Amino acid sequence: MSRNLFGTDGVRGTANEFPMTAEMALKLGAAAGRYFRQDHSAAHRVVIGKDTRLSGYMFETALTAGLTSTGMNVLLLGPVPTPAVGFLTTSMRADLGIMISASHNPASDNGIKFFGPDGFKLSDDAEAEIEALVETGVTPSQSQHIGRARRIDDGRFRYVERAKQSFPDTLTLNGLKVVIDCANGAAYRTAPQVLWELGAETIEIGVSPDGLNINDNCGSTHVATAAAAVVEHGAHVGICLDGDADRVMILDENGKVADGDQIMALLASRWAVNGRLKGGALVATVMSNLGLERYMQGQGLTLERTPVGDRYVVERMRKGGWNLGGEQSGHIVMTDYATTGDGLIAALQFLAAMAETGQPASALAQNFETVPQLLRNVRYEKGSVPLEADGVKASIRNAEERLQGNGRLLIRKSGTEPLIRVMAESEDPVLMEMVVDSIVEAVEAAV
């Protein structure tokens, strides 16, 4: 089955433009409701969470209308992190979970991601079947079988307790000064509360959402503000989440950034020593740095690579029976604690390492020497296919020949934005920049 609506992380786009319209959300709700309520019994329910975008109100209402029209009972969580939706889907015995968020994207965007009854994101096949129902249309339930909707006021607090349980009960954060940047997003209340309850002194950034300032010069994709705050306040560590709190970047006491690769390296090595790393393997994507792969080999551990997208990381983890994976961008998946990337719980694992070892963040945040990596993005018009242009194909072939034996190249379409991502790795930075520039120029010419 084809998947034209769904990308690598649900349906996403600019609010009030196809496919992110209220009409499409209504259809998606009805299609998902019919897909998960095929036996027409009355016991089916769905939980819906959202981040702090203004358009979240519109999509929440439209999805609720579509879902209840097929007899689904809707439980509205309000603003909660994406991993809270995965957790509460199973905790509340729901058939379906939905998160309304465009993650790290600007406030003008929004998205809809689906979770199955096990709390994990849906497979490609399930998304294709829902998309097929959108195309064919769904017959609504009879009037006496229309579903109900109700607000769940304590969903956030349930997740707070869940997050705290991931932190060793023999440790506290007493004496630690932590800068927490919530990106004016879904974790603006939960993350500071968890840190404070565990004993940390918090300096809070990005905790005043107004519907339009999510990810605006803050959060995991804009760490400069938090880095300055770490230095200014003499904090021991900084934590930068994204808009839906499924990503994290860590800042050491000097404001230096540790990305997802460095965080995974720390957790993998610590878990391996403690006998917690199942199968001696870490699952990461093709974007993860070659330095991480070399580090894992040096530890006698394995790095398994997947296509880009945390859902593919999770699928490989579940298939292999592994419990740690993630992405360089800061998605850290720990299936012992969560069904999807969880920025807050990953940060708590890092803080636990600080509390247990007494070492500063700088000693824990840089575990391997990165191989120089260059990533550039080229925006294109929706509907165009620049990677099919002859000039682009020729440029890629030439770049691969020049890099052979001295690096690697990855060119792909973003699954969440109309961008072509051009990435190269090489210990020859001059060569790396030349090949990236040549491909970017070819793509721009095709665009």
Residue 59 is encoded by which pair of tokens? 């999509």
Cα 34 to Cα 136: distance, rounded to the nearest angstrom: 12
- Please give the single-letter amino acid code of residue 339: T
Residues facing 180 on adjacent strands? 204, 239
- Kindly give, in sequence order, each residue whose CB lies less than 8 Å from that of residue 163, ignoring residues fewer than 6 positions away: 190, 194, 342, 344, 345, 348
Distance of CA 390 to the CA centre of its chain: 34
Burial 240-255 (b: 16+ CB within 10 A, else e): bbbbbbbbbbbbbbeb
Residue 138: count of CB within 10 angstroms of its CB: 18
Angle at 36 between CA 35 and CA 38, to 5 degrees: 70
141 annotated active-site:
no
Cα 139 to Cα 116: distance, rounded to the nearest angstrom: 22
Cα 210 to Cα 216: distance, rounded to the nearest angstrom: 11
Annotated active-site residue in 55, 69, 101, 103: 103
Residue 421: count of CB within 10 angstroms of its CB: 17
Burial 274-297 (b: 16+ CB within 10 A, else e): eeebeeebbbbbebbbbbbbebbe
Distance of CA 370 to the CA centre of its chain: 22
Cα 411 to Cα 395: distance, rounded to the nearest angstrom: 11
Cα 18 to Cα 317: distance, rounded to the nearest angstrom: 33
Positions marked catalytic = 103
